[in-house]
Amino acid sequence: MFELIYQSSALNTFSDDQLESLVSEARNFNVAHDITGLLVFDGKSFLQILEGDKKIVEDLYDRISMDERHCNVNLRWSQHSAKRSFTDWSMGCFALEGASVEKDLMLKSRFENRLSDTLSHGSRLFSILSNQLYSACRPVLT
């Protein structure tokens, strides 16, 4: 299993409809290619976790990097991981309201990395989302 995490900046504001259509387009491909993961959007920045076969994830990341809906696509993490963290999600999507991808998610995860080395980066980020940012987190297209 291979896990890749990137952060990027949305080029325009995204309405709920636009976010939903992005996610449903993504899910079609992801289901067909056994890709799972999570997309978080705080109104400005995206954070996405992709997991699956290494070659498929890397090719998908290359395509996503060229997508004109966002810029400053910044790879934060990519590595083999022992197991899949998001078995049930071909692409879970959460809108963060009143919290930020960089300050509340990435910085915290760096801190938490030191606490628990056994978890994958994806599951650490998810545990921050579900435990600490729960009230700021709105599921999109469940």
Ligand X SMILES: Cc1cc2nc3c(=O)[nH]c(=O)nc-3n(C[C@H](O)[C@H](O)[C@H](O)COP(=O)(O)O)c2cc1C
Does the footprint of ligand X cover residue 93 (CB under 6 A)?
no
In the complex, what is the shortest distance from the CB of residue 140 to ligand X, in angstroms, rounded to a whole number?
12
Q: Which of 24, 69, 82, 98 binds ligand X (CB under 6 A)?
A: 69
> Is the distance from CB of 97 to CB of 136 less than 8 angstroms?
yes
Does the footprint of ligand X cover residue 29 (CB under 6 A)?
yes
In angstroms, how far is CA 87 from the centroid of its own chain?
Answer: 14
Does the footprint of ligand X cover residue 48 (CB under 6 A)?
yes
Residue corresponding to tokens 């009230």: 135
> Is the distance from CB of 74 to CB of 101 less than 8 angstroms?
no
**Part in contact with ligand X (CB under 6 A); list of ranges 65-73, 79-87, 94-102, 120-128:** 65-73
Long-range contacts of 11-15 (CB under 8 A, 24+ apart): 11/68, 11/69, 11/70, 11/71, 12/69, 13/43, 14/41, 14/43, 14/69
Does the footprint of ligand X cover residue 67 (CB under 6 A)?
yes
In angstroms, how far is CA 81 from the centroid of its own chain?
Answer: 16
**Part in contact with ligand X (CB under 6 A); list of ranges 61-69, 77-85, 97-105, 119-127:** 61-69
In the complex, what is the shortest distance from the CB of residue 133 to ligand X, in angstroms, rounded to a whole number?
19
Does the footprint of ligand X cover residue 105 (CB under 6 A)?
no
Q: How many CB atoms lie within 10 A of CB 142?
A: 7
Nearer to ligand X, 26 or 125 (CB): 26
Which residues form the interface with ligand X (CB under 6 A)?
22, 26, 29-30, 39, 46, 48, 60, 63-64, 67, 69-70, 91
